[in-house]
């Protein structure tokens, strides 16, 4: 069996690395990895692949820095060339990026079976490009690997029970990865107090909205009076904050860090505050309460079970949620497959 895996962003490589390590256990499976280059990442050097135990891509397409249409179109063309050359049995895609969509479209037109990992997720916000990508990829896939019961329910509500598409609850490969990388984690080179909050802010809905950004940072500054807040900040977000004159003096601002350093910070923090989708889950994997600086989340089971609270960008709500801290502390619940997702996915493909 030959599988071509399409990837375009560093988080996708980390997730795919987990499945690739499982695939490597089977002599009868060959995996060819295609990196579209969608998200240019200076951290993704040879050292990155070595330290993360991830196989290096067989193809690098170097398509980035373009609008949605140009980027997806160029990816579609280049991926099709790879598929015609490699003639795989399966194309495997992850999540909801333009790379995911382009890979799926190319495979579909060539009548190659598609496996979509992280299928069935919905934010129900059609203004998000990711939401459009998710819906389209699910519909043209052959098998959908869903991380949660909620994802299965979403597909059922959309009529997938009546379609010739196999739906499997696989669990979440991110939990497999978190368990694998915990032992490899590295302490970042910054001043860290004994008790601290890990915070990340990067979503455009927050960074591109001055009112939301100001409310979030006013709340963070208030909380930072009693507990250190460590905030790895992307240069773009840092520039926006500087241009707006937003005060961040009370916060510990650090440069963007690698995944192994991030795992260390999650493992050792008291709490996570974020607008990231992935970090919400990682907080759960490492048994940390999470305050989510968004109005909605794809990971509703974390909210429903009391591990995560949605606060939007409301200063008073952020502060009161932190002060009250009414979180569920019993993390002994199987929401994401308990680290067996990759095994399930590979076994299903062999079937």
Q: Write the CA distances from 98 to 70, 76, 115, 129, integer angstroms.
A: 10, 10, 16, 9
Q: What are phi and psi of 199, to 5 degrees?
A: -130, 140
Rounded CA separation 164/155 (Å): 13
CB burial class (10 A; 0-12, 13-18, 19+) of residue 139? middle
Identified catalytic residue from 53, 111, 116, 202: 202
Quickly tell me which residue has 């107090």 as its tokens: 193
CB burial class (10 A; 0-12, 13-18, 19+) of residue 214? middle
Catalytic residue check, 68: no
Rounded CA separation 315/216 (Å): 6
Active site residues: 202
């Amino acid at each position: 069996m030959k599988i071509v895996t399409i990837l375009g962003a560093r988080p996708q490589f980390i997730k795919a690395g987990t499945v690739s390590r499982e695939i490597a256990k089977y002599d009868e499976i060959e995996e060819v990895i295609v990196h579209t280059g969608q998200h240019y990442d200076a951290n993704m050097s040879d050292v990155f692949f070595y330290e993360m135990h991830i196989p290096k891509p067989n193809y690098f397409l170097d398509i980035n820095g373009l609008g949605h249409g140009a980027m997806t179109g160029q990816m579609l063309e280049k991926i099709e060339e790879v598929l015609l050359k490699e003639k795989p049995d399966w194309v495997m895609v992850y999540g909801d990026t333009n790379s995911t969509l382009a890979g799926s479209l190319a495979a579909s037109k060539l009548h190659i079976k598609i496996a979509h990992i992280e299928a069935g997720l919905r934010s129900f916000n059609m203004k998000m490009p990711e939401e459009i990508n998710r819906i389209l990829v699910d519909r043209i896939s052959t098998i959908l690997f869903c991380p949660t019961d909620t994802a299965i329910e979403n597909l059922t509500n959309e009529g997938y029970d009546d379609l010739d598409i196999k739906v499997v609850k696989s669990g979440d490969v991110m939990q497999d990865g978190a368990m694998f990388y915990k032992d490899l984690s590295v302490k970042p080179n910054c001043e860290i107090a004994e008790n601290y909050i890990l915070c990340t802010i990067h979503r455009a809905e927050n960074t591109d909205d001055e009112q939301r950004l100001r409310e979030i940072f006013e709340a963070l500054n208030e909380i930072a009076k009693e507990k250190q807040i460590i905030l790895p900040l992307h240069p773009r977000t840092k520039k926006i904050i500087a241009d707006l004159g937003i005060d961040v003096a009370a916060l510990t601002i650090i440069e963007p860090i690698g995944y192994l350093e991030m795992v260390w910070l999650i493992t050792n923090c008291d709490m996570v505050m974020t607008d990231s989708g992935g970090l919400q889950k990682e907080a759960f994997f490492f048994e940390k309460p999470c305050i989510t600086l968004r109005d909605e989340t794809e990971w509703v089971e974390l909210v429903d079970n009391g591990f995560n609270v949605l606060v939007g960008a409301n200063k008073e709500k952020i502060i009161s949620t932190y002060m009250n801290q009414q979180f569920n502390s019993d993390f002994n619940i199987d929401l994401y497959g308990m680290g067996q997702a990759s095994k399930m996915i590979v076994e299903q493909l062999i079937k």
